Structure 1
Amino acid sequence: MTHPESSIEPQIVDGRQSPTALRVQRGVMRFLRSVHDMTCFAEVPLSNGRRADVIALGGKGEIWIVEIKSSLMDYRVDAKWPNYKDFCDRFFFCKPPELDAEIFPAEEGLMVADGHWGDILRHAAHEPLPGARRKAMLLKLARLGADRVHALMDPETRREGLF
């Protein structure tokens, strides 16, 4: 049975995500919000020039980054993922159910998600961010969230290149 919302495109898409990656993104964000009470941001640019697929922010300021890998090829061609670990307290890969979990490094966190839900297969190590980096990330996420809400409320600002 198809859920009515399964065909709805997310509002924040930059065209680089495959349909599988978008499904995984939706499921992992639903899971993190419902089970872990985390607010999620998709497609977040970082100060090192990288873009995090999902950043989850917890109620006490904890920051998780989730790197979505939609296929074996997607994983094999990615050498940039270690660069994300300087911007979070916990780092996870997230895969669709059909992708083999054995391809991912055993020392990294691992989640699985489909278009509706997700789960943690392996917990990530807790490596707390330094205070200054946490503050910078929290400010970045607050401003990004406000800008995205503003763009939804006033779409002309997006067309004018303000966001």
Structure 2
Amino acid sequence: MAELGPIVDGRQSATALRVQRGVMRLLRETHDMSCYAEVTLKSGRRADVLGVGPNGEIWIVEIKSSLVDFQVDRKWHEYRDFSDKFFFAKPPELDPDIFPTTEGLIVADGHDGAMLRDSPLTPLAPARRKALMLKLARLGADRLHVLMDPGPK
């Protein structure tokens, strides 16, 4: 069975959860992406939001809710290995100048979001895309199953 992992497990701040909601709305409504929250990758890193586009493109969004949250994260570069496009997302009150200009940037709150800067395209290798798509298909089905039947584990 694919790893379910918690969608919300207490590690996310209230601000991060609001940003996550706005990011997912933006990706779904503006970019026709189907979104997953909290996806554990093969590297062990956990993507805050992973979107899959209609042509199979994969975007990862890393949410940073504060300056300290950004400063202590030195592993965000690893997301590039699992996505065609990589973005940071921030709440409206966080200074956009703290983020590298080489990466995409989204501003979001609990209602919606806006893309401040697009991400450069770095296409995934076909074998990695296939493995990730299989993982996402299983993860999505397992999450739906748990909602339908939260019975014994």
Give the TM interval when normalised to the shorter protein: over 0.9
Q: Helix, strand or coil: the match of 2:42?
A: coil
> Any gaps of 5 or more consecutive residues in structure 1?
1-10
Residue 17 (1) aligns with residue 12 (2):
yes
User: 1:32 is aligned with what amino acid?
Assistant: L
Higher relative contact order (CA 8 A, sep 6+): 2
Residue 140 (1) aligns with residue 140 (2):
no
Partner of 2:63: 68
Q: Helix, strand or coil: the match of 1:73?
A: helix
Q: Helix, strand or coil: the match of 2:151?
A: helix
> Any gaps of 5 or more consecutive residues in structure 2?
1-5
TM-score between the two structures when normalised by the length of structure 2: 0.95
Q: Helix, strand or coil: the match of 1:32?
A: helix
Residue 124 (1) aligns with residue 83 (2):
no
> Number of residues paired by the alignment?
148
Partner of 1:81: 76
Shift of 1:79: 0.5
The one of 29, 33, 40 aligned to 1:38? 33
2 CA distance for matches of 1:27 and 1:89? Answer: 21
| 1:53-88 Cα distance to aligned partner (Å, 9 max, x none) | 000000000000000000001000000100111000
Detail structure 1 runs of 4+ shifted over 3 Å in the superposition.
none
Residue 55 (1) aligns with residue 50 (2):
yes
The one of 107, 112, 121 aligned to 1:112? 107
1 CA distance for matches of 2:38 and 2:56? Answer: 19
Shift of 1:138: 0.6
TM-score between the two structures when normalised by the length of structure 1: 0.89
Shift of 1:15: 1.3
Partner of 2:24: 29
Computed over aligned residues only, the root mean square deviation of the Cα atoms, in angstroms, reads 0.9
User: 2:115 is aligned with what amino acid?
Assistant: I
